[in-house]
Amino acid sequence: MCSSPYNDYWKELRKLCAQELFCAKQIQSIQPIKDEEVKKVIDSIAESASLKNHVNLNKTFLALTVSVVCKAAFGVSFEGTVLSNDRFNKLVRDAFEMLVSFSASDFIPYVGWIIDWFTGLQAKKEKSGRDLDAFYEQMIDLHKEVKEKRSEDFVDVLLRMEKEETVVGNDILTRNHVKAIMMNILLGGIDTSAITMTWAMAELVRNPRVMKKVQSEIRSKFKNKERINYDDTDQLEYLKMVIKETWRLHPPTPLLERIERRSFCVSYSDHHDSLLSYKLHILVS
């Protein structure tokens, strides 16, 4: 969905995800999973602190997002698949490396693929695609084998829609569509969240004054409350600003490329206008 052209298919797919996968009911159903996994992380960090052990926050946050996404979207922990911890992390890293790598075919459509073939990028893309496809197929097979009744996760919803032959744009939802949406959930939900949390902590360490204000806000709002749940975070206005500033300084996702369909002017002030010409390539953060 992220790399799809802006057309009726993209709009229908976006609408489908908003109504079926990211609706209020579905989000509420995964809240216990997030609460459970966050509690595990807090307990683990507290134990490391009591033992005066170092904590690798990058690995900790990555493990947290992996657990939440896999349980919420796929209904299983990745430890229950054929992928080990290291292999799963490598799968995600390789996929992101392919997404952000320079590809000559993106800039030279007719002959760029030859350059990618000589540099080995094409072979790496194909291998990463095969590995991801095998993972998605395993997730689908696991869901088809489950017989007992349980609440639907994202894969259950997608398979139900495939069975009902849901229309997306001018097409009927197929297995390839299901796996494409699963890829967006996997790659869009794991590394991006972990990167944001890691950079936020790094910036707080670099700015003790800001960290102190965040700590003061949390303590003044919740005082001696032992656990803070998701709903409580709505009260933390300063923390929200810290997160937004982290996104501004360290965008967690690759830039999206769009091609302008018509020329028009963008006004930044009374004296500054910029002309965006037809077919201009625009990178959106």
Mean confidence (pLDDT) of the chain: 80
Give the list of residues 6+ apart from residue 92 with CB closer than 8 angstroms, or none: 66, 186, 187, 190, 191
Evaluate if residue 82 carries a pLDDT over 60.
no
Q: For 147-189, write each residue's pLDDT tens digit.
A: 666 677 788 888 888 888 887 777 788 888 888 888 888 777 7
pLDDT digits (tens, 9 = 90+) for 21-42: 777 777 788 888 888 888 889 8
Residue 235 above 70 pLDDT?
Answer: yes
Residue 225, Cβ density class (10 Å: 0-12 exposed, 13-18 middle, ≥19 buried) = exposed
C-alpha distances out from residue 110 to 98, 122, 155, 228, Å: 20, 15, 37, 54
The Cα–Cα gap between 95 and 97 comes to 5
How would residue 14 be classed by pLDDT, with cut points 50, 70 and 90?
Answer: confident
CA distance 56 to 250: 19
Give the whole-angstrom CA distance, residue 21 versus residue 32: 17
Domains of the chain: 8-207 (1.10.630.10)
Residue 80 has pLDDT above 60, yes or no: no
Residues 6+ apart with CB under 8 A from 144: 159
Determine which helix (DSSP H) or strand (DSSP E) holds 183, and give its type and residue range: helix 175-189
Inter-CA distances, 131 with 12, 14, 115, 136, 163, Å: 28, 26, 23, 9, 25
Segment 92-135, tens digit of pLDDT: 778 877 777 778 887 787 788 888 888 888 888 888 888 888 88
Position 261 confidence tier, pLDDT thresholds 50, 70, 90: low
pLDDT score at 211 = 95
pLDDT reported for residue 190: 77
User: pLDDT band at residue 239, thresholds of 50, 70 and 90?
Assistant: very high
pLDDT greater than 60 at residue 58:
yes
Which token pair is 32? 């216990």
Confidence tier at 197 by pLDDT (50, 70, 90): very high
Amino acid 282 reads I
* Residue 60 to residue 46: CA distance in whole angstroms: 13
Single pTM value for the model:
0.71
The confidence score (pLDDT) of residue 255 equals: 57
Q: What is the mean pLDDT of residues 46-68?
A: 88
Instruction: Answer yes or no: are the C-beta atoms of 207 and 160 closer than 8 Å.
Output: no
Average pLDDT estimate for 242-254: 84
Q: How far apart are CA 285 and CA 267, in angstroms?
A: 19
Segment 53-69 mean pLDDT = 86
